[in-house]
Amino acid sequence: MNILYFNPGSKAGAEKMMTGRCHDIVFTAGQADALRLIHNRAFDAVVIETEDEGNELLDFTLQLYKLRPKLPVFLANDWGTELPMGLKGLTAGAFAW
């Protein structure tokens, strides 16, 4: 599973939990870099980890959906320790789009 992990903050959190779980993960902290990667590469999901859930996150998510409207987005802060299970469910077909 190819995952784009976007963390605009400097604190590492859930990304530690994700590393080494048989996923190909691309980490980025820049919004422009994240959008460029989404435009140029195929990802199975995007994980966003941020403390700020304001307009900047909303704008980023809207831009992301303009590029890839069916790309699943997981907010790491909301999923917590269940994030790996949620991503596993994605590959098992647990989510219908």
Domain map (residue ranges) of the chain: 2-91
The structure tokens listed for 92 are 């098992």
| Euclidean distance between CA atoms 61 and 56, whole angstroms | 9
Q: How confident is the model at residue 67 (pLDDT cuts 50, 70, 90)?
A: very high
- Answer whether 0.85 is exceeded by the pTM: no
Contacts of 14 (CB under 8 A, 6+ apart): 47, 49, 76, 77, 79, 80, 83
| Euclidean distance between CA atoms 55 and 92, whole angstroms | 33
The topology under which CATH files domain 2-91 is Rossmann fold (3.40.50)
pLDDT in tens, 22-63: 568 888 888 999 999 999 999 999 998 877 666 778 888 999
First and final CA of the chain: distance in angstroms?
17
| Euclidean distance between CA atoms 44 and 52, whole angstroms | 24
